Structure 1
Amino acid sequence: MSSTAQSSSTAQRSVALVTLGCTRNEVDSEELAGRLAAEGWLLVDDADDADVAVVNTCGFVEQAKKDSIDVLIEASARKGHSKTQKVVAVGCLAERYGQQLADELPEADAVLGFDSYADMSTHLRAVLDGHKPASHVPSDRRQLLPLSPTQRQGGSAGVALPGHGIPTDPTSPEQTSSEPLSTAPVDVTIDGPVPASGPRVIRARLDGRPWAPLKIASGCDRRCAFCAIPMFRGAFVSRRPHDIIAEARWLGERGVKELFLVSENSTSYGKDLGDIGLLEKILPDLAAVPGIERVRVSYLQPAEIRPGLLDAMASVPGVVPYFDISFQHASATLLRSMRRFGGREAFLGLLDEVRARVPLAGIRSNVIVGFPGETEDDLTELEDFLVTARLDVVGVFGYSDEDGTEAETYADKLSDDVVAERVSRFTALIEELNLQRAEERIGEHVDVLIESVPNGEDDEEETSVVGRAAHQGPDVDGVTMLDPTQFPDVAVGDIVRAVVTGTEGIDLLAEPC
């Protein structure tokens, strides 16, 4: 079917993308939105106003799965009470469970995996026309690509990599041209063929935030005993630098001021391109993109952090000194059982290296408590680490079995009550430590990216100017609040200089310098 015919067949049909889970899912949703917009679909914000609601689910941990199922059920219940005719499940939960999810959740009109993304328009048209596509049949996506990372780039044709912007037809001449690729972006809404002179950006913004996640890689080659992500996200694959920079320019042209680089493991970036130091090499190019004022790197594996990467993150102008390091625990013994490396002393040494370069760096992490075999000695090691580490923000997760993981087979499982008690205990400890760390920042000068203003379209009930300092990541690391009478002329997307004067929880209060 021609592009014109496809656009005509979807006239007056609308779609809403409901995104759950992490920022990587947000990128995937915006790629889906870009594909659908290019096929003539009307993108709407509210699922009640759409012909079809596409729910991009999360399948990471038990609570995230429950939340995804609840949203699917709630959206399905609105059918007949709103414009919504159909509800379609996509994303990690759909990819991970596929047919099983469809059997147990008949409320969903279709359950589609990652392989469906490139032709989502056809699938949604079929669903609206009363034809239910075959539900996704899950498989171990690690087996879809060569075992050797350096062979994956050439062997990834036809393998779905959500968020990488791979064209629907990878064999089309304009996409396989051997001509040098320009980094000038081409908007998905432009009619006509994609030029051979540059990569296409397949994405549509779904919000007006002054920051945006930008995917630099997908998948993971690590084999952490508790984690199922590699099975349904696949082996690690880097995006090529020119594609990343092209999308960064596209975002910069649309008012984005901060790029949030996301992946399952950013410290592995470039290993399949033959250059494990490639991330630090592209950071200056990303920071130099017109309109972009801040670049933030997320999800660093401590065992893979290199001095060169620390140097770049600490010294490249525009790259914020923000270190999102996945420690998970601090007991060396328990970390080995998790199939991870490091321990209390090694991690504290790494933090010393970070702070030797940037004394006021923002550092966040996550920890798991209640892992099989975890002892009181392990918990003491973790507590000692957290007290000494002075981290800005720490997320606490209680261990739960994940289907297909090595830890699911372990003995020495702790009861749900014990796991819950340890989560409660360490949540209380970390809340106190994070409050202390926030108070230590009183008197610091900070550059604040404004995200909302009173009576603005972002939040009409907001009474403060709200933004984020360089050490605060999006959504989960607290915010910096400013008195609007002291900053009367600021707008969303501005970056203002301020001094921290107080705290509200982990949030900071600041005023003009």
Structure 2
Amino acid sequence: MNTINIINLGCSKNVVDSEHLARQLKANGYNVLYDQTDLFDITLINTCGFIHDAQQESIETILEIADQNKDNPNSFLGVFGCLTQLFAKELKKEIPEVNAWFGKYDANDIVEALNGKFKHDLSHERILSTPKHYAYLKISEGCHRKCAFCSIPIITGDYKSFSPEELIKEANFLAQNGVKELILIAQDLTWYGQDLKHKPTLTELVREISKIDGIKWIRLHYAYPVGIPEDLFEEMNHNPKICKYIDIPIQHISSDVLKAMRRGHNGPSTKKILNDIRSKVEGVEIRTTLIVGFPGESEEHFQELSSFIQEFKFEKMGAFPYSHEAYTFAFEKLKDNVDEETKQRRLDEIMEIQHDVAFQHNQNKIGKSFIVIIDRQEDNVYYGRTEYDSPDVDGEVIITSEKLLTIGNFYKVKITDAEAFDLYGEVIYA
């Protein structure tokens, strides 16, 4: 049986694409592995094209594999994903060592290029690259927003919701294969269903998924801060399967900067939705993402952002320096007039503020008990997460235990110490 190594670069949405592709390849007789460093005759690279650094990582990975393959006449290197969707013509010219280039939506072509046949009856099935107890559930493709800095709509096209029936079928498959935590993802969760005939809402979808046996946690990522369904907050409050956690990338708080970003919300409306969530969902923790150094961001705009971070105290936060990306509105219409040194200084300053906020927040958890899912083990040290922590982007709960804990199981854990991002705890045995 031939083995295929799929190297996945980029976001969790790419992860889902690779997992669907892997299932198709397995159905055609291939063994599939993920992110291996050993040499294989067949390598497929799923690329990211979102920002310059991610594009560069993708290109470097392609060149590295191509160089490794040069002495193997039987090797096949295929490249697909967002980078190829955006720069296919240029890449083909610059890297002729690649055997085949595919776009983001060319899974069928990839299977056929490897002498297989795409099986539509398996479209809801996947081979997980994550630990078997959690999985991402992508509820839509594309984006209809026109944010000035973002190339995603150019790469992926307009918003396309997957039907509730498709998603429930996929969620059932995942649950039957041991998944206990579903992480709902999209470029914009908020808009879900608005393009479908009967306009199902995110709240309705979450409610139906929560009825699936085996699913214990449902986590929400990437909700746009405009148009979040009002009844979602009530559902989060009363549905025990929905984590008291939501990821809402606000990008900035200055109305001037948000307008230049073409976000469709301003400072006051952003504060209102954030405060509504805090007041309506008891115990909720909010994650956000910010951009510093956007064209035209003055020191006054930045200080407004810094003050808001100190005042609102996001439980989780990530931030990035602005990247001037080809084909975006900002690239075409705005001058990248904040120098790189200033961008980095601003990034460092707000992350230092967030470090202090997160540290104090975690200190307040010492002595309290939480349900923790165990993700992995190193000797007698276990690493898990509370419902307030998403894989890879948030902190972990670190547990030293002489007793054997089971990966993927839930335990009640008392927090004994805390850092800015990680917690330390001990299992409470009844």
Q: Check whether TM > 0.5.
A: yes
Matches within 5 A, 1:15-30: 15-30=4-19
Contact preservation (8 Å) 2:313, 2:357: yes
How much does 1:267 deviate?
0.6
How much does 1:250 deviate?
0.7
Pairing 1:464–2:381 present: yes
How much does 1:26 deviate?
0.4
Match of 1:91 in 2: 81
Contact preservation (8 Å) 2:383, 2:399: yes
Match of 2:239 in 1: 316
1:278-298 alpha-carbon deviations (Å, 9 max, x no partner) = 211121221221221111111
Secondary structure at the counterpart of residue 38 of structure 2: helix
Match of 1:135 in 2: none
Amino acid at match of 2:385: R
**Which region of structure 1 is more displaced relative to structure 2, 359-368 or 340-349?**
340-349
Q: CA separation of 1:262/1:42 partners in 2, compared to 1, >3 Å: closer, same or farther?
A: same
Secondary structure at the counterpart of residue 436 of structure 1: helix
Between the aligned partners of 1:511 and 1:169, the Cα distance in structure 2 is 47
Contact preservation (8 Å) 1:322, 1:361: yes
Amino acid at match of 2:42: V
Match of 1:130 in 2: none
Match of 1:414 among 318, 335, 338: 338
Contact preservation (8 Å) 2:324, 2:336: no
Q: CA separation of 1:94/1:302 partners in 2, compared to 1, >3 Å: closer, same or farther?
A: same
Match of 2:372 in 1: 448
1:403-427 alpha-carbon deviations (Å, 9 max, x no partner) = 1111112136222222222222223
Match of 1:201 in 2: 124
Q: CA separation of 1:55/1:376 partners in 2, compared to 1, >3 Å: closer, same or farther?
A: same
Between the aligned partners of 1:273 and 1:73, the Cα distance in structure 2 is 41
Match of 2:397 in 1: 480
Pairing 1:401–2:324 present: yes
Between the aligned partners of 1:344 and 1:82, the Cα distance in structure 2 is 57
Match of 2:422 in 1: 507
Match of 2:176 in 1: 253
- The alignment's TM-score, normalised by the length of structure 1, stands at 0.78
Secondary structure at the counterpart of residue 355 of structure 1: helix
Tell me, which stretches of 5 or more residues in structure 2 are unaligned? Answer: none
Match of 1:265 among 188, 192, 197: 188
Match of 1:48 among 38, 49, 53: 38
Contact preservation (8 Å) 2:202, 2:229: no
Matches within 5 A, 1:491-502: 491-502=406-417
Between the aligned partners of 1:42 and 1:337, the Cα distance in structure 2 is 48
Contact preservation (8 Å) 2:179, 2:215: yes
Q: CA separation of 1:502/1:281 partners in 2, compared to 1, >3 Å: closer, same or farther?
A: same
Between the aligned partners of 1:405 and 1:234, the Cα distance in structure 2 is 13
Contact preservation (8 Å) 1:277, 1:308: no
Pairing 1:429–2:353 present: yes
How much does 1:115 deviate?
4.2
Contact preservation (8 Å) 1:47, 1:53: no
Q: CA separation of 1:511/1:120 partners in 2, compared to 1, >3 Å: closer, same or farther?
A: same
Match of 1:38 in 2: 27
1:457-483 alpha-carbon deviations (Å, 9 max, x no partner) = xxxxxx521111001011111111112
Contact preservation (8 Å) 2:131, 2:375: no
Between the aligned partners of 1:425 and 1:321, the Cα distance in structure 2 is 28
Pairing 1:62–2:60 present: no
Secondary structure at the counterpart of residue 453 of structure 1: strand
Between the aligned partners of 1:361 and 1:105, the Cα distance in structure 2 is 48
Match of 1:239 among 138, 151, 162: 162
Contact preservation (8 Å) 1:219, 1:230: yes
How much does 1:428 deviate?
2.3
Contact preservation (8 Å) 1:16, 1:53: yes
How much does 1:434 deviate?
2.2
How much does 1:87 deviate?
1.8
Between the aligned partners of 2:64 and 2:203, the Cα distance in structure 1 is 44
Matches within 5 A, 1:77-88: 77-79=67-69, 85-88=75-78
Q: CA separation of 1:430/1:481 partners in 2, compared to 1, >3 Å: closer, same or farther?
A: same
1:219-246 alpha-carbon deviations (Å, 9 max, x no partner) = 1000000001001111101111111111
Quote the RMSD (CA, aligned, Å).
2.2
1:338-364 alpha-carbon deviations (Å, 9 max, x no partner) = 001334443333232222233421211
Between the aligned partners of 1:379 and 1:392, the Cα distance in structure 2 is 20
Amino acid at match of 2:407: V
1:48-94 alpha-carbon deviations (Å, 9 max, x no partner) = 35321101011111111111111111222222578971222111111
Match of 1:117 among 94, 97, 107: 107
Between the aligned partners of 1:220 and 1:328, the Cα distance in structure 2 is 16
Between the aligned partners of 2:102 and 2:246, the Cα distance in structure 1 is 35
Amino acid at match of 1:231: I
Between the aligned partners of 1:291 and 1:356, the Cα distance in structure 2 is 30
Pairing 1:216–2:139 present: yes
Contact preservation (8 Å) 1:372, 1:413: yes
- The alignment's TM-score, normalised by the length of structure 2, stands at 0.93
Between the aligned partners of 2:8 and 2:32, the Cα distance in structure 1 is 14
State how many pairs are aligned: 426
Secondary structure at the counterpart of residue 303 of structure 1: coil
How much does 1:304 deviate?
1.9
Secondary structure at the counterpart of residue 302 of structure 1: coil
Between the aligned partners of 1:209 and 1:438, the Cα distance in structure 2 is 28
Q: CA separation of 1:412/1:278 partners in 2, compared to 1, >3 Å: closer, same or farther?
A: closer
Match of 1:136 in 2: none
Write 1 or 2 for the structure with the bigger share of strand: 2
**Which region of structure 1 is more displaced relative to structure 2, 373-382 or 404-413?**
404-413
Q: Percent identity of the aligned residues? A: 31
Between the aligned partners of 1:207 and 1:385, the Cα distance in structure 2 is 35
Match of 1:305 among 219, 228, 233: 228
Between the aligned partners of 2:72 and 2:359, the Cα distance in structure 1 is 44
Between the aligned partners of 1:348 and 1:276, the Cα distance in structure 2 is 27
Contact preservation (8 Å) 1:49, 1:84: no
How much does 1:380 deviate?
1.3
Contact preservation (8 Å) 2:190, 2:226: no
Q: CA separation of 1:121/1:489 partners in 2, compared to 1, >3 Å: closer, same or farther?
A: same
